[in-house]
Chains A and B, each alone.
Chain A
Amino acid sequence: MNRGTVRGRALDVAELPTIVFSHRSLMWWGTLGVMVIEGTVFALAVMAYFYLRSHQATWPLTALPPDLLWGTLNTIVMLASFIPAHLAKRAAEKLNLRGVQVWLVVSTLFGIAFTVIRGFEFSTLNVRWDSNAYGSVVWLLLGLHTTHIVTDLLDTIVLTVLFFTGPLDGKRYVDVSENSFYWYFVVAAWLPIYLVIYWGARTP
C-alpha cells in the first residue's frame, strides 16, 4: 500500500489515491457516526416501549394488536432490497458506471415500494397515536423508522439522477457505496422494530 515517498526531509503524498472505500474513507466514518446517533434513538424508543409495557397489567391496553400482513410483507421487501443495495455498492467499488446506474434505479424502485407499503402499515395499526400511551409509542417507532426510509429514498433518487446527468467524478462512487451502507442500516434497524411493533403486542 502506498504510504507516500520520502524526498529528503519531506514526505511526498502526491501519489496517494483519492478514491478509497469503507473505513479508509472519511465519509464512511461520518455515515457511521450518524448511524450510531440514530441507532441510539431507536434503542431508546424501544426501551420506552418496554418501560411503558412493564407498568401495565394488560398490553396493548385496550387496542387490538396491529395486523400482520403489511408489516410482514414490508419486512420481506426490505430484506430483498439488500440485494440491489449490495450490488450497487459492489459496482461502485469497481467504478462500474453501468452497474451503478442499473442498481441505483432498482434500489429506488424498492424504496418507493416500501414507502407505499408503509402507508398501509400505518392504516392497519388498529390504534391512533392519541388513543393511549401504547398507541403513542407504536406510532413513534413506526414514524421514526419512516423518516429514515423517506430520507434514504430521497438520497437514493438524488444520487440516481446525478449518475445520469453528471457532473460526475470518481468521488461519487464513494457516495454510492456510503448510500448502500446507510441502506443496510435502515433495513437492519427495521428488524427489531418490526418484532417490537408486531410481536411485542402479541406476547403474553
Chain B
Amino acid sequence: MRHGPLGEKPHPHKGRTKDGLAGGEVVARVLDETWSDPPGFLGWFCAVNHKAIGRRFLVTCLVFFALGGLLAATMRMQLSRPGNTLVGPDLYNQIFTMHGSTMMFLFAVPVFQAVAIYLVPLMVGARATAFPRMTAYSYWIFVFGGVMLYGAFFVNAGPDAGWFSYPPLAGPEYGAGKRSDIWAQMITFTEVSALLDAVIIICTVFKMRAPGMTLNRIPLYVWAMLVVAFMILFAMPAVALASSLLIMDRLVATHFYNPGEGGDVLLWQHLFWFFGHPEVYLIFLPGLGMISAMIPTFARRPMFGYTAMVLSLIATGFLSFGLWVHHMFATNVPELGKTFFTAASMLIAIPTAVQIYCWIATLWTGRLNFKVPLYYVLSFFVILVIGGMTGLMLASVSLDSQVHDSYFVVAHLHYVLIGGAVFPLFGALYYWYPKFCGHLMSERLGRWSFWLMFVGFNVAFFPMHILGMNGMPRRVYTYPAELGWGTLNFVSTLGAATLAIGIFLTLVNALRSARHGEAAGADPWGAGTLEWLAASPPRTCNFAALPVVHGRDPLWQGVPAGQVDHVCGLAADVREVLCTTVADAKPDSRMIFPEPTPAPFVAAVATTVLFVGSIFTPWAVVWGSIPLAIVLVWWFWPSQREAEEELALESTEELRAEQA
C-alpha cells in the first residue's frame, strides 16, 4: 500500500476482505454484493454483469429470431399456391430482405456471442468477461441497430435489395429512398457490436482462465468460440467497409461501385463474400462447439480426439477465408480462379469430417443417456450431412451455374444453417437452460418439440431442392399455375407450419419450466466442465473461490491428492480478478474491474444518434462525434474512490522486490 503519483491516498479499508473458501458463506455474500448490478429501473441501464448482459442479449436475439420467423411464415403463406395475392411484390421484396438480414445479422452470429458472453467466463472459471462495460456497450449498440431496422420496416422503409444488397440494385441509381441506407447502417451497428464482442471473448479466454487450464485443457466449446472470435476480427471488417462504401456512394456521390466513373460492382461482391463465406462458418462453428460440449456429457466419457478436434476447428477457420468466390461462379471472374475455389470448397469438408468421426467415436464407445439435447445433436448429423452434400454439389462450377439463384440454393443454405446452427442451438438451450434458470425443461414437451421441428424442417425444405431443379428462382413473390410448382410449395408451407409449432412448443416449455420445472442442482447432467461447478443459476460472483484446474474435465477428474483446488487472496469487497498467462494459465497478475455505470448505455445512444443521423446528412458524422467524444471521456475518467481502491490493492514487482 502506498500513495499515488500525485499524492493520492489509498482507501482506508477497502480491499482488506479476501475471498477463498476459508471465509465461508459470509465472504461469499460479500462477493455477491460486490459483483451485483444496481437495483431498480435506472440500475437496469447500468448493468455490467456478464450473466445479466448475456441473458438480455440471448433473449433479444431470440426475439429477432421470432420476428424473422414470422416474416418467413408470411413468405410461405404467400407462396403456398400459385397466383396468390396476400403480399404484393414491393412488400415481398422487403420481407425476404428483412428475413435474411434479421437471421444473419440479428440472430445467427449474435445469438452465439450472447451465449458465449454468459457461458465463457463460467467455463474458464472467471467472475466476469474481460472489459465488462464494453460488453454492455456492444449489447446496447446491437439492440439499437435492430430497433432501427424494424422501425424503418414498419414505416415502409425496410431494405428491399436482398440480404446481400448487391449494387447496382442497392446503389444510388436503382435503390430509391432510404431503404438501402438503413440496411448499410444496420450492418455498421451489428458489426461494431460483433467486433467488440470478439475482442472481449479473445481476451477473456487468453487472460482470465482459471489457474491450470492450459491451452490443451480449454473446453472445446470455448475453443470454438475463440476461433470464431478470431474469424470475426478478419471477416467482419470487410462487410463494414463494403457497406460504408455503399452508403457513401448513395449519400456523398462517391463512385466505388459506379462503372461509369471507374468503379466496379464486383468490388462489392468480393468484399461482401470475403465476409460472407467466413460468416457461414461463424454461424456453424459455435454449433460444433456446443455439440462438442454435449456429446461427452450424454456419452458419459471424455471427448475422443481432443487435439484433432481443436486442429480441425482452427483449420476450418483458416480455410473459410479461401472460399468466397464460390458465391460468384456466375460472374466473370477468371476460370482458373474458379477452379482454385472449387478445390478449396471441397477441402473444407475434411476438417468437418474429422470432427464428425470424432463425435461418432465418442458416441460409439460411450454409454448413451438419451435426453432431449442428444436428440438435437443426432438430428444435426442427418441434416448437416444432407446440407454438406448439396454444398459439395454447389462447389462445382458447372452445377452451380445451372442452379444458381434457384430454390436449390435456398434449400442448401437452410439445411446448412438450420441444421448446423439452429438445431445445435436448441439442443444447447435444453442443455444449459437449467444453468440459466435453475430448473430443468420438460423432457416430454422437449421430445414433442424436437420431432415436430425435425419433421417440419425436412418437409419444409427438402421439396425446395426439387423446386430449384425444376427451375423455380429465388425471390419471386408468386408464380403461375402452369409451371407446376404449386403442390411442392404447398407441402413446403405445411412443413414450415409444423416447424413453427415445434419451435413454439420449446418457447412454452421454457416459460413453463422457469416456474414449474424440476429443480436442477449444480450439475443435473453429470457433466465435466467448470460451468457445472457453479450453482444453478450461478451466484452473482459465479464462484465463491475460483477453481484450480488439473485436467480437461475437472469435475470428472477431481483434484490429485495434496494439490491445490481453489484460489484465495483476491479482494472480496472490490471487483478484483485474477489474470493468468496465455499458454499455461499460471497466475500472473491481479486487476480491478470497473463498477456498474450508465456510461455504456449513454455512449450507445450517442453512437446511435451519429449512425442514424448520417443516413440523412453526412454532417452528422461531424456533429454527432462531439457528444460521443464527451460521453467516452466521461466513461473513461476515473473517480477519486476508484483511484483510492486501486492504490489500496496496488503492487508492482519492483515494490515486492524492495520489500524482500
Given that A130-B252, A168-B4, A170-B652 are contacting pairs, would A9 and B566 also be in contact in the complex, using a CB cutoff of 8 Å? Answer: yes
Q: Write out, one digit per residue, whether chain A residues 152-190 have a CB within 8 A of any chain B CB (1) or not (0).
A: 001000100011001111111000000000000000000
Chain A: minimal CB distance from B562 (Å): 9
Which residues of chain A have C-beta atoms less than 8 A from B258's C-beta?
A: 133
- Segment with Cβ contacts to B, from A16-24, A109-117, A195-203: A16-24
Q: Complex: how many Å from CA A187 to CA B408? A: 49
Chain B: minimal CB distance from A188 (Å): 18
Within 8 A of A (CB), among B237-280: 237-238, 240-241, 245, 248-249, 252-256, 258, 261-264, 267, 270-271, 274
Within 8 A of B (CB), among A29-54: 29-30, 33-34, 36-38, 40-41, 44-45, 48, 51-52
Chain A residue at smallest Cβ distance from B569 = A14
Within 8 A of A (CB), among B134-173: none
Interface pair B198/A33, CB less than 8 Å apart:
yes
Instruction: Please tell me if B500 contacts chain A, counting CB pairs below 8 Å.
Output: no
Instruction: Please tell me if A123 contacts chain B, counting CB pairs below 8 Å.
Output: no
Interface pair A26/B130, CB less than 8 Å apart:
yes
Interface pair A3/B643, CB less than 8 Å apart:
no
Given that A10-B21, A13-B587, A130-B254 are contacting pairs, would A24 and B579 also be in contact in the complex, using a CB cutoff of 8 Å? Answer: yes
Q: Complex: how many Å from CA A167 to CA B5? A: 9
Interface residues on B, range: 35 or more
Which residues of chain B have C-beta atoms less than 8 A from A25's C-beta?
A: 579, 589
Interface pair B569/A9, CB less than 8 Å apart:
no
Interface pair B653/A2, CB less than 8 Å apart:
yes
Chain A: minimal CB distance from B109 (Å): 15
Chain A residue at smallest Cβ distance from B263 = A133
Interface pair B254/A166, CB less than 8 Å apart:
no
Interface pair B569/A13, CB less than 8 Å apart:
yes
Number of A-B contacts (CB under 8 A): 236
Which residues of chain A have C-beta atoms less than 8 A from B13's C-beta?
A: none
Instruction: Please tell me if B387 contacts chain A, counting CB pairs below 8 Å.
Output: no
Which residues of chain A have C-beta atoms less than 8 A from B565's C-beta?
A: 9-10
Interface pair A29/B254, CB less than 8 Å apart:
no
Given that A13-B569, A33-B199, A136-B248 are contacting pairs, would A166 and B255 also be in contact in the complex, using a CB cutoff of 8 Å? Answer: no
Interface pair B252/A129, CB less than 8 Å apart:
yes
Instruction: Please tell me if A105 contacts chain B, counting CB pairs below 8 Å.
Output: no
Q: Complex: how many Å from CA A13 to CA B591? A: 11
- Segment with Cβ contacts to A, from B216-224, B297-305, B360-368, B632-640: B632-640
Instruction: Please tell me if A12 contacts chain B, counting CB pairs below 8 Å.
Output: yes
Chain A residue at smallest Cβ distance from B22 = A10
Chain B: minimal CB distance from A10 (Å): 4
Q: Complex: how many Å from CA A135 to CA B258? A: 13
Given that A3-B586, A26-B591, A97-B5 are contacting pairs, would A15 and B656 also be in contact in the complex, using a CB cutoff of 8 Å? Answer: yes
Which residues of chain A have C-beta atoms less than 8 A from B5's C-beta?
A: 95, 97, 163, 166, 168-170, 172
- Segment with Cβ contacts to A, from B81-89, B201-209, B421-429, B608-616: B201-209
Chain B residue at smallest Cβ distance from A167 = B643
Interface pair B589/A133, CB less than 8 Å apart:
no
Chain A residue at smallest Cβ distance from B571 = A14
Which residues of chain A have C-beta atoms less than 8 A from B114's C-beta?
A: none
Within 8 A of A (CB), among B408-434: none
Instruction: Please tell me if A61 contacts chain B, counting CB pairs below 8 Å.
Output: yes
Q: Complex: how many Å from CA A15 to CA B18? A: 12
Question: Which of A18, A51, A168 has the largest number of chain B CB atoms within 10 A?
Answer: A18
Q: Complex: how many Å from CA A52 to CA B268? A: 11
Candidates A18, A38, A44; contact of B652 at CB < 8 Å: A18
Which residues of chain B have C-beta atoms less than 8 A from A6's C-beta?
A: 564
Q: Write out, one digit per residue, whether chain B residues 3-28 have a CB within 8 A of any chain A CB (1) or not (0).
A: 01110100000000010111000000
Chain B: minimal CB distance from A35 (Å): 10
Instruction: Please tell me if B30 contacts chain A, counting CB pairs below 8 Å.
Output: no
Given that A24-B579, A26-B130 are contacting pairs, would A2 and B252 also be in contact in the complex, using a CB cutoff of 8 Å? Answer: no
Instruction: Please tell me if B455 contacts chain A, counting CB pairs below 8 Å.
Output: no
Chain B: minimal CB distance from A59 (Å): 9
Chain A: minimal CB distance from B637 (Å): 7
Interface pair A168/B8, CB less than 8 Å apart:
yes
Q: Complex: how many Å from CA A144 to CA B3? A: 42
Chain B: minimal CB distance from A37 (Å): 5
Chain A residue at smallest Cβ distance from B208 = A26
Which residues of chain A have C-beta atoms less than 8 A from B588's C-beta?
A: 1, 3, 16, 20, 24
Given that A20-B589, A30-B130, A133-B261 are contacting pairs, would A11 and B566 also be in contact in the complex, using a CB cutoff of 8 Å? Answer: yes
Q: Complex: how many Å from CA A29 to CA B580? A: 13
Candidates B256, B261, B579, B646; contact of A169 at CB < 8 Å: B646
Which residues of chain A have C-beta atoms less than 8 A from B22's C-beta?
A: 10
Interface pair B131/A30, CB less than 8 Å apart:
yes
Which residues of chain B have C-beta atoms less than 8 A from A18's C-beta?
A: 589-592, 646, 649-652
Which residues of chain A have C-beta atoms less than 8 A from B18's C-beta?
A: 14
Q: Complex: how many Å from CA A145 to CA B564? A: 50
Given that A13-B590, A136-B254 are contacting pairs, would A169 and B8 also be in contact in the complex, using a CB cutoff of 8 Å? Answer: yes
Instruction: Please tell me if B582 contacts chain A, counting CB pairs below 8 Å.
Output: yes
Within 8 A of A (CB), among B364-416: none
Chain A: minimal CB distance from B30 (Å): 16
Chain A: minimal CB distance from B207 (Å): 5
Which residues of chain A have C-beta atoms less than 8 A from B535's C-beta?
A: none
A selection of 23 A-B contacts at a CB cut-off of 8 Å is: A1-B588, A4-B569, A6-B564, A9-B564, A10-B567, A11-B587, A12-B20, A13-B578, A15-B656, A16-B651, A17-B652, A18-B649, A30-B131, A30-B199, A33-B198, A44-B241, A48-B271, A52-B256, A140-B248, A167-B639, A168-B6, A169-B8, A169-B650
Which residues of chain B have a CB within 8 Å of any CB of chain A?
4-6, 8, 18, 20-22, 130-131, 195, 198-199, 202-203, 206-208, 211, 233-234, 236-238, 240-241, 245, 248-249, 252-256, 258, 261-264, 267, 270-271, 274, 545, 548, 559, 563-570, 578-579, 581-582, 586-592, 629, 633, 636-640, 642-644, 646-647, 649-656
Given known contacts A16-B590, A17-B590, A17-B653, what 14 new A-B pairs fall within 8 Å (CB)? Answer: A3-B587, A13-B568, A15-B569, A18-B651, A20-B589, A40-B237, A129-B248, A130-B253, A133-B263, A162-B637, A166-B5, A167-B642, A168-B643, A170-B652
Please name the 10 residue pairs, one residue from A and one from B, whose CB atoms are nearest each other, closest first: A14-B569, A33-B199, A133-B262, A136-B254, A167-B643, A169-B646, A133-B263, A130-B253, A12-B569, A40-B237
